[in-house]
Amino acid sequence: MSAYLVSEATGWDLVPPTVLRDGPFGTGMCQLWVDVDDTVDLQDLAHSDHPDIQRMCVLDAVINNADRKGGHLLPTPEGRVYGVDHGVCFSADDKLRTLLWQWRGLPLTPEAVEVLQKLQADLYGDLGAALSGHLTRREVRRTGQRVEQLLLTGLHPMPSEDWPAIPWPPF
């Protein structure tokens, strides 16, 4: 749910609409089903310069996604790409693991900087309040610190030397 809230705040629409629901096993999330284009090679897509992939790279750095695998990329017949399976995100500790390292150390796009500036303000307003319903105060604070770090450096993050950079299995 929190990844969806952040995705919505960016305006990038990278995470399918997600809602909380009560079910037979308790509260959980439901996510809009996305019909995918099965002709797209996920390995090629993950290593491409598709704008949604580059945006997802930034989103993953913000939410501290520790499990971005190729199978979590959903290319649509219309050419959009969605990301799913955000169950290992928002840790207060740095745990970014992703397949999307092709921009590591490179400057953020002007679009990404603009979105991050808006996100930074939103984290101290409505977005921060909404996230507080799902995350600890420390997790929300660390999300804001990750945004601040991205803006400070103006660069896509580098893989950590203390943590495996790519999740296993990658697809």
Give domain status of residue 161, yes or no.
no
Q: Are 163 and 96 in contact (CB under 8 A)?
A: yes
- Decide if pLDDT at 43 tops 90: yes
Give domain status of residue 122, yes or no.
yes
Token look-up 């990278």 returns 14
Give domain status of residue 95, yes or no.
yes
Give domain status of residue 56, yes or no.
yes
Give domain status of residue 116, yes or no.
yes
pTM exceeding 0.75: yes
The per-residue pLDDT for 47 is: 95
How many structural domains comprise the chain? 1
Q: Are 165 and 105 in contact (CB under 8 A)?
A: no
The per-residue pLDDT for 169 is: 80
Average pLDDT over every residue of 65-90:
95
Give domain status of residue 13, yes or no.
yes
Q: What's the angle, vertex CA 126, arms to CA 32 and CA 140, rounded to 5?
A: 85
CATH code where residue 89 lies: 1.10.1070
